Amino acid sequence: MLLAGPALGASAADALDMSYEVVGLYDDKSYATPNYYLMLSDKEDATYNYKTGAVSLQEGYVLTLDLYNVASAPLALQTGTYGVSYDMTPFTMSPDASQLSYYTAGRPASTTVSSPVEVSRDGDGIYTLQTTVTDPVSGQTRELKYVGRLPISDVNEKPASFPMLRKDVIDAEIKAGGIAYYYGITDYSDNGVTYLNFYSSTFDQTTGALTGDGINLSMMIAHKRMAKDKYTIESGVYEDALTFDRQTWYPCREIEYNIGEYVSVPFGSYIRIRENGGEYVYGYLKSGTLTLEFDPATKQISGTLDAYTDLGFHVTANLGGTIIYDMSSASVPPTVSNLTDDVELDLDYLEVGRLWHRGEKAGCRAFTLDLGSPAGRDSEPGVAADLLRVEFFTPLDEAVVKPGLYTVVKRRWNSNELAAGGTYEPMSIGQGWSMVDGGSSYRHFQEGMTYVYDLFAPVQSGTIRVDTEDYVNYSFEIDLRDDAEYKITGLWQNKPIEYMYDRQALEEELSGVATVADGIVGLQVVVNGREIMALNAGDAPMALYDLNGRMVMSGDATQVLDASGLGSGVYVLTVDNKAVKVVLK
C-alpha cells in the first residue's frame, strides 16, 4: 500500500491503492436515476459521520465517486464503465461530487475526478474499481485502484446503530472458551434457543463482555427443547434460517428494546471486534454454516464458522475452549410429553394395524388407527414396544380412511371453539391430550414391565401421508411432533389394516344412493349373482362405479354386465342419468 505524500518519486507516484471502503450509500428517492455514492481510502482509520456527512481522517487519501445507475436487487453496484457526465443517467459519474482528497492534519485538499471509472466483480463478490486522477498535492497523474468488497446501504432505511465491520475476517482464532446462555422456550420458538458466545481473549463471566481487546462471536442457535438439568450443546451442523427450526442459527437484525427509553440492540448472530481499547465494531451475520463438536462431560467445544455479514464481508473462524452454562433466563414450561429426545418408530414387530369407526364428530367422520395394541395383543409381556394411536377425520360420507395427506389440526374442546360452520377439517388428524381416549398419541411399553407405559407423548402437529390401493394393505408416512416439539417419525409400509367395524354396512349406510326398492319410475335393476341387468331403459348408456368414484364397468341397457371379476361390496349403477345402489355379495 502507498502511504502517499507530495515528496514521492514519479515511479512510485503513478499508482495508488485505495484499500478501504469508508462508506457506500444508495439513494433511489432523490434522483431520477438511483445514486451510488462511494468513499474509498488508503487508510483504515478513515471514518464517515452518517449524521453530518463529514469524513474524519488525520492523514491520507479519500476518493469520492458519485455514480448513477438503475436499481438492483439485491442492492449492489453494477459492473461496467461509468463515463463522466452531468446528466445523472445510467452508467455515469458526476464530476460535481467526484474527487480525490488528501488530508493533512484532518484538512483536505481536493481535485476533481475527470476520467471514467471501470467497475468489475469476481464470483466471490470482490470488486475492482479503477480510474485516473490528478494528485491534489503533487499534481501528478495517479492510477487509483480499489480491490475488495463494496457494501452499500440504502439512505432511506434506518442505518445501523453501531460501527459496522467493513472488512473480511479470515481464519480468526476464537478459542478462549465462552458462555452458553440457555433461554429455553421463547416467544418466537417452541424449540430450545441458546445464545452461544465465543471469545478470543479474557472475558467477564458475569456480563459476557471482553475485558480488553479481542473478538466476541455470538451465535443464536435453535435446537431441541431440554429441561435445565438435561441441557447440553448439540453437536452438528447449523445453517442460517429465520424459522428457529432445529440445527439452525438466526441471522442478525436490530430491534428496539425498552430500558426506560427505546434503544436499538442486535438480535441474532453477530461478531464484534475491539481493537486498541476502542469501541466494538459489529458484523451482523446473515448467511453461512456453523459446525460444532461438544463434549458434555468436559464442556469442551470445538468448531468452525464460515459466514457472510449483511454487508457482504466474509467471516471464517476456528472455535474452541471451555463453555460455561448460564440458565438464569431459561424458561421451559411443563408438557404432557415425557420424551427427552426424538422418536424413530420401530413398527417392524407388528403384522397388522387396527381401525375403529368412532362415528360423526363435529361435521366429519372420525376413525381411530392403532399401530400396536394398548391391550398387548401384538407384543409379549415385558418387551419394549412402540405404539401409535391416530385420530383421523374424513368427509362425513366416507366409510374408510382414503389416500392423501392428513394434517394435525388444533384440538377443539367444545362447539364454541370449533372452526367456521362448527366442524373439523376433513383430511386432518386430531391432536392428543391425555392417555385415556386422548386423540392422537405416541406410547411406549417399558422393558421388563407388563404393558406399562414409560413414555407418552400427545401429538401436537405434523402430517401423515396415507397410501393404499386395495383398502386392506396401507402405507403410512409418519412425520409428527409432540407438545415438546420432539419428532415422532416412521413408516408403516404396505401392511394390512384390520377393520374393527362393519365396513360394508357403513358403506351402505353412507352411500346416499336410492335402492331399487325406493321405486325409481320405469327403471328396474336385476342382480342375478354377478350379472347386472337394467330393464325398461332401452339402449341408454350405463356404467358401474365403486364407492371411490372409479368407473369399473360400462355398456348400455341392452347388455348384461358380468361383474364376476369385481370384489364384494357396494357399487353405484348409473342408467340414463339415474343412480341405483347395487350390492354384490
* Range with the poorest average pLDDT among 17-21, 430-434, 462-466: 430-434
> pTM of this prediction?
0.68
What is the pLDDT averaged over residues 485-496? 95
Q: Which helix H or strand E contains 10, and what residues bound it? A: helix 10-13
DSSP string, 127-177: EEEEEEEE-TTT--EEEEEEEE----EETTSPPPSS-B--S-EEEEEE-S-
Average pLDDT over residues 40-61: 92
Q: Which of 69, 65, 78 is nearest to 23 (CA)?
A: 65
pLDDT attached to residue 420: 45
The pLDDT value given to residue 111: 97
Check pLDDT > 90 for residue 348. Answer: yes
- pLDDT for 511 equals 66
526 vs 388, higher pLDDT = 388
Residue 457 confidence (pLDDT):
94
3-state SS of 463-517? EEEEEECCCCEEEEEEEEEECCCCEEEEEEEEEEEEECCCHHHHHHHHCCCCCHH
Give yes or no for a contact between 306 and 247, defined as CB atoms under 8 angstroms apart: no
CA distance 218 to 137: 45
DSSP string, 11-63: HHHSEEE--EEEEEEEESSSSSS-EEEEEEES-TT-EE-TTT--EE-SEEEEE
Please, are residues 413 and 390 in contact by the beta-carbon 8 Å criterion? no
The type of residue at 61 is: Y
The pLDDT value recorded for residue 73 is 85
- Position 418 pLDDT exceeds 60: no
Residue 284 is predicted with a pLDDT of 97
Give the count of beta carbons closer than 10 Å to the beta carbon of residue 377.
11
Q: Which pLDDT value is given to residue 124? A: 87
- Give the separation between CA 537 and CA 535, rounded to whole angstroms: 5
Contact 553, 563 (CB under 8 A): yes
| Mean pLDDT, rounded, for 97-121 | 96
The residue with cell 456527512 is 53
Mean pLDDT, residues 84-93 taken together: 97
Q: Which amino acid belongs to residue 260?
A: G
Asked if residue 412 has pLDDT above 80, the reply is: no
Greater pLDDT, 17 or 576: 17
Give the domain ranges of the chain: 10-154, 169-326, 343-502, 511-584
Q: Is the pLDDT of residue 12 over 50?
A: no
Give the three-state DSSP class for 518. Answer: helix
Burial class (CB in 10 A: 0-12, 13-18, 19+), 273: buried
Q: What is the pLDDT of residue 436?
A: 64
The confidence score (pLDDT) of residue 531 equals 87
Q: How confident is the model at residue 269 (pLDDT cuts 50, 70, 90)?
A: very high
Q: Mean pLDDT of all residues in the chain?
A: 89
| Secondary-structure percent of the chain, ordered helix, strand, coil, rounded to 5 | 5, 50, 45
Asked if residue 69 has pLDDT above 80, the reply is yes
Where b means 16+ CB within 10 Å and e means fewer, 531-564 reads ebbbeebeebebebbbbeeeeebebebeeebebe
Task: For residue 346, give the nearest of 442, 486, 465 by alpha carbon.
Answer: 442
Residue 9 pLDDT > 90: no
User: In this predicted structure, what is the pLDDT of residue 396?
Assistant: 83
Question: In this structure, are strands 364-371 and 428-430 parallel, antiparallel, or unpaired?
Answer: unpaired
Specify the pLDDT at position 119.
98
* Domain 511-584 architecture: Sandwich (2.60)
Q: How far apart are the first and last CA of the chain?
A: 94
Q: Which of 146, 152, 175 minimizes the C-alpha distance to 313?
A: 152
Confidence of residue 347 (pLDDT cuts 50, 70, 90): very high
Q: Higher model confidence: residue 528 or residue 93?
A: 93
Cα–Cα distances (Å) from 368 to 358, 426, 473, 529, 549, in that order, read 7, 14, 16, 35, 24
- DSSP run (H or E) holding 274: strand 270-274
Let me know how long the chain is. 585
**Interval 200-254: pLDDT, tens:** 999 999 999 999 999 999 999 999 999 898 999 999 999 999 999 999 999 999 9
Average pLDDT over residues 97-108: 96
List, in order, residues 6 or more apart from 470 with CB less than 8 Å away: none
pLDDT above 90: residue 414: no
